[in-house]
Amino acid sequence: MTTSTAKQPKPNPYYPIGQLQCETDTGLLTVPLTQEVAFRSWQQAIPEEYWGLDADELTRRIRTARATLAENVVVLGHHYQREDIIQFADERGDSFALAQYAASHPESRYIVFCGVHFMAEAADILCAPHQQVVLPNMEAGCSMADMAAPPDVYSAWRELEDSFGSTDDIIPVTYMNSAASLKAFCGKYGGVVCTSSNATKVLEWAFERGKRVFFFPDQHLGRNTGAKMGIPLDEMVLWNWRLPAGNLGGRDGDELARARIILWQGHCSVHQRFSLTQIEQARERYPDVKIVVHPECRHEVVQEADANGSTAYIAKYVAEAPAGSVIGVGTEINLVSRLAKENPDKTVFCLDPVVCPCSTMYRVHPAYLAWVMESLVAGTVVNRIQVPAEEKAHARLALERMLALK
Ligand code: CIZ
Ligand code: SF4
């Protein structure tokens, strides 16, 4: 695969209005860290020598380290990573598929997970004890996962217990995009993990065991899945975690009594940007366009789309569309532009004209990958992600319940 050779950010024709630009708008091109405006505020300190390296030099150094480490390392690339990272991935995919891939390669002691924090944790939960998981940039979190702080979830659970008299009939379900401690919480309280590929199956499982589901952190995936199962919108209520404890997440007793799904008020800032207006504009411009979106998008957007599904689903949808198709996609821009490149016989475009990449995924700049890989070559494991043993056991249980549904 080729790499970007651009040394300078190019002005992007998509952004006519300066104020609408996001911090990562220099686009999908890699420039040295010193020129990355977005990295100044939140990047993890790495040795000075990596700051000035351009994309070509970083590529060369990562390639050398990769060759030296050989089968001792597996490099995983999430779909939302930039091309300059994806080119090194032994496997690319969604968070769960990547964690499974790492677990099925026990010959590799080091798993370098180019993705975000919860994904590296999931890999650590599923991998063998001798495998060590490394996240190139510790600041690469997920803003959606961060909306469900474990103490807030535990406090909500206690409030639900007080309100209903017990939680025996409530099944906690966490989306993969959550802290390991919340996966452990689900394991401990009879709950389960879901991904965007299996959320329906998981909720069916949950409703066989309880009357209600407590779903976090993504309200949209929860609502879209519930609606797909025929649950009326007014039987899915939002729990506003920003309110102080004691407020029942902003609901009253009647609303909670009616609720079949209690939805944590979390969202993905990338997917929440997609709108009905964008779909309308795409249909006006291309009357035959097909619209495919991720279920982290708002309910009305998912309803209006021709299809919706996980990143793997979207990739398959585009690949299987007939030549000449025009497809508007509602998901992260790195994946959309890769799909456009890999399907040159189709017109594939992002529904959002102000194409911000996922800013936390973007934090895995190749300088970080070079640093962690060269550290491994030197015999030092930096940025290891390790889930505490007890948490791991419970989190694994919640993941295994999900796996058993296949
Ligand atoms: O689980 C993943 O990797 C995410 C974040 C989304 C998806 O649909 O694959
Ligand atoms: Fe999190 Fe959204 Fe980025 Fe996915 S795209 S990692 S949900 S912030």
Helix (H), strand (E) at residue 114: strand 110-114
Distance 141 CA to ligand 2 centre (A): 8
Residue 323 and residue 330: Cα distance in Å, rounded? Answer: 20
Take residue 240 and report the two structure tokens written for it. 């506003």
Superfamily (CATH H level) for 271-350:
NadA-like (3.40.50.10800)
Q: Which residue has the higher pLDDT, 64 or 355?
A: 64
* CA triple 224-227-233, angle to 5 deg: 105
Q: Is the CB of 177 under 6 A from ligand 1?
A: yes
pLDDT tens per residue, range 8-56: 333 333 333 333 444 444 456 788 988 876 666 666 788 999 999 999 9
pLDDT confidence of residue 36: 79
pLDDT tens per residue, range 320-370: 999 999 999 999 999 999 999 999 999 999 999 886 788 899 899 999 999
Distance 80 CA to ligand 2 centre (A): 9
pLDDT tens per residue, range 175-212: 999 999 999 999 999 999 999 999 999 999 999 999 99
Q: Which fold has domain 145-267?
A: Rossmann fold (3.40.50)
Distance 163 CA to ligand 1 centre (A): 33
Residue from 76, 114, 175, 176 to probe ligand 1 pocket by mutation (most atoms less than 8 Å from CB): 176
pLDDT above 70: percentage of residues in the chain: 91
Is pLDDT at 107 greater than 80 in this prediction?
yes
pLDDT confidence of residue 353: 82
Q: Which of 16-20, 230-234, 235-239 has the lowest mean pLDDT?
A: 16-20
Q: Is the CB of 176 under 6 A from ligand 2?
A: no
Distance 163 CA to ligand 2 centre (A): 32
Instruction: State the amino acid at position 113 in one-letter form.
Output: F
- Asked if 160 and 262 touch (Cβ cutoff 8 Å), the reply is yes
Q: What is the DSSP string of 306-351?
A: SEE--HHHHHHHHHHSPTT-EEEEES-HHHHHHHHHH-TTSEEEES
pLDDT confidence of residue 355: 67
Identify the residue whose C-alpha is closest to ligand 2 atom 5. 358
pLDDT confidence of residue 5: 37
Take residue 74 and report the two structure tokens written for it. 């597996």
> Which residue has tokens 């957007």?
301
Distance 251 CA to ligand 2 centre (A): 27
Which ligand approaches the C-alpha of residue 99 most closely? 1
Q: Is the CB of 196 under 6 A from ligand 1?
A: yes
Beta strands at 290-293 and 91-93: parallel, antiparallel or unpaired: unpaired
Take residue 26 and report the two structure tokens written for it. 């220099």
Q: Is the CB of 176 under 6 A from ligand 1?
A: yes
pLDDT above 90: percentage of residues in the chain: 85
pLDDT confidence of residue 139: 92
- Asked if 126 and 100 touch (Cβ cutoff 8 Å), the reply is yes
Which ligand approaches the C-alpha of residue 194 most closely? 1
Q: What is the mean pLDDT of residues 289-317?
A: 98
Q: Is the CB of 360 under 6 A from ligand 1?
A: no
Q: Which residues contact 216 (CB under 8 A, 6 or more apart)?
A: 148, 153, 172, 173, 174, 175, 178, 182, 222, 263, 264, 266
Domain boundaries, the chain: 28-139+360-387, 145-267, 271-350
pLDDT confidence of residue 357: 84
Q: Which fold has domain 28-139+360-387?
A: Rossmann fold (3.40.50)
Which ligand approaches the C-alpha of residue 144 most closely? 2
pLDDT confidence of residue 10: 39
> Which residue has tokens 């969202």?
267
Question: What letter would DSSP give residue 49?
Answer: G
Q: Which residues on adjacent β-strands are paired with residue 246?
A: none
Q: Is the CB of 218 under 6 A from ligand 2?
A: no
Residue 263 and residue 14: Cα distance in Å, rounded? Answer: 35
Q: Is the CB of 95 under 6 A from ligand 1?
A: yes
Identify the residue whose C-alpha is closest to ligand 2 atom 1. 142
